[in-house]
Amino acid sequence: MHVAVIGAGYVGLVTGAGLAYLGHSVRLGERDPAKLKKLLAGEVPFFEAGLDALLAEGISNDLMSFHADNKEAVVGARVVFIALPTPSDEDGSADTSYIEGALEDLGPVLEQDTVVVLKSTVPVGSVARFQAHLDTFGTGATVISNPEFLREGSAVGDFLHPDRIVIGTRSQEAAEVMLELYQALQAPVVVTDPPSAEMIKYASNAYLATRITFANAIANLCESVGADVKDVLLGMGYDRRVGFHFLNPGPGYGGSCFPKDTRALVAIADDAGYDFSLLRGVIEVNELQRHRVVDKVRAAIPLDGATIGLWGLAFKAGTDDIRESPAVFVAEELIVAGATVQAFDPEAAHVDGVIRVDDPIQAVKDAHVLVIATEWPEFQSVDLRAVREAMASPHIIDARNMLDPEAVRRLGMQYEGIGR
């Protein structure tokens, strides 16, 4: 099938390369000249494991092309995916102006039977609103919802082996087109009306954010009552009604989705006259969690003039994405308080004011405290003796509970985790 994808970011490029892998012909529209240049050279413009191979295959099979002009990208497309950003507006609601701008541009050129697929996470009611917008151009295009659930760090696997596919449309024909597009994927398919599909995405992210936050709240309480959250969550997780996923205490959730999507769902609820106090509580506890990490460092050492080693800048392991990263928040707070921050992250982008170094030991050189802020697995195999030798005072604040506290203490270092 001929497909266009507007926006070649984490979602758009994975979707495009994934669809090409399934044999579809994919034209991508991307307006960032630097990203486009890399794509035209066959390179992935960000870090996502396995995506380079998928992209190379799509290009060599002549199934992928890249375009600066979205109108050029949609030529001949039966399906047009919109994978554009929907960042938080000042009031917390989702800003859909990127999508509005793109549809304004595409409205006059879309063909009659085009299916326009909202892959971006959009407020409930967006399908109807964008359909009305496209109708003003007299196009017969049908707007549908097909929310994306991929996780950065495992996005390729998530595309090829999704837990489910959600299709939100009242058009039988559009649903059939989507079923044909995805027929090679083995996954349960939920075909529903557009508002339900839009809500599934927000409800899923809000639930996952709530689980993380619940684990953090329990961890904080464990610190006060002398319990070890690792054992508490282990004991809870064996209950099949609870399970182990997304119950990892840490510095709070971050990234480009959970923070903005939880805020957006609160805004959706406010508009609908429902006070979503549970989710407002989650957002508040999550904010406080990042501050707790900074407070732990402050309690360990006067920050003015201190040197802090930081392991990790990405919002989680497996990605270079630093959007709303708790690690970056901690770094920035420490710098504002007068500390020097030396950070190592295997993939993350530059952060203003942070001294980037090339390995974990360089990050702790002459440091008074080491903060582990991102759960990159390689941090677990760093030689702790070398860490101790390099540090000015050996004190580790392990905001991801990655290290064995006893092993650290046996080496004569102070250790603090989250909830233990």
Ligand X SMILES: NC(=O)c1ccc[n+]([C@@H]2O[C@H](COP(=O)([O-])OP(=O)(O)OC[C@H]3O[C@@H](n4cnc5c(N)ncnc54)[C@H](O)[C@@H]3O)[C@@H](O)[C@H]2O)c1
Q: Which is nearer to ligand X, 29 or 251 (CB)?
A: 29
Q: Shortest distance, CB of residue 6 to ligand X, whole angstroms?
A: 5
Residue of 335, 338, 305, 308 lying closest to 399 (CA atoms): 308
Within 8 A by CB and 6+ apart from 420, the residues are: 219, 222, 223, 228, 229, 230, 401, 405
User: How many Å apart are CA 127 and CA 50, to the nearest integer?
Assistant: 32
Which of the stretches 6-14, 51-59, 330-338, 375-383 binds ligand X when contact is defined by CB under 6 A?
6-14
Position 29 contacts ligand X (CB under 6 A):
yes
Based on the residue annotation, tell me whether 257 is a catalytic residue of this protein. yes
Residue 31 makes contact with ligand X by CB under 6 A: yes
Q: In whole angstroms, how close is the CB of 231 to ligand X at the nearest point? A: 31
Query: Catalytic residue among 14, 257, 283, 364, which?
Result: 257
Smallest distance, Å, CB 31 to ligand X?
A: 4
What minimum distance in Å lies between the beta carbon of 355 and ligand X? 27
Contacts (CB under 6 A) with ligand X, residues 198-257 = 256-257
Interface residue with ligand X among 18, 39, 55, 86 (CB under 6 A) is: 86
CA distance 136 to 138: 5
Whichever of 205 and 342 has its CB closer to ligand X, that residue is: 205
DSSP 384-397: HHHHHHH-SS-EEE
CB 80 within 8 A of CB 112: no
Q: Tokens 């399908």 identify what position?
A: 127
Q: Does 101 bind ligand X (CB under 6 A)?
A: yes
- Nearer to ligand X by Cβ, of 318 and 417: the residue is 318
Figure out which of the listed residues 5, 8, 51, 413 binds ligand X, where binding follows CB under 6 A. Answer: 8
Q: Which residues between 34 and 53 bind ligand X (CB under 6 A)?
A: 35
Residue 30 makes contact with ligand X by CB under 6 A? yes
CB of 33 to ligand X, least distance (A): 9
Q: What b/e string do you get for 208-234 counting C-beta neighbours within 10 Å, with b at 16 or more?
A: bbbbbbbbbbbbbebbeeeebbbebbe
- Backbone phi, then psi, for 2, in 5-degree steps? -90, 125
Among 85, 123, 326, 417, binds ligand X (CB under 6 A): 85
Cα(169)–Cα(127) distance, rounded to whole angstroms? 9
What mask of x and - would describe binding to ligand X in positions 304 to 343, judged by CB under 6 A? Answer: ----------------------------------------
CB of 356 to ligand X, least distance (A): 22
Task: Kindly list the distances between the CA atom of residue 84 and the CA atoms of 10, 12, 30, 120, 244, in Å, as whole numbers in the listed order.
Answer: 10, 8, 10, 6, 32
CA distances from 138 to 110, 153, 232, 254 (A): 10, 41, 59, 41
Q: How far apart are the C-alpha atoms of 291 and 190, rounded to whole Å?
A: 40
Which spans of this chain sit near ligand X (rule: CB under 6 A)? 6-12, 29-32, 35, 70, 83-86, 98, 101-102, 119-121, 148, 150, 152, 256-257
**Active site amino acids:** 257
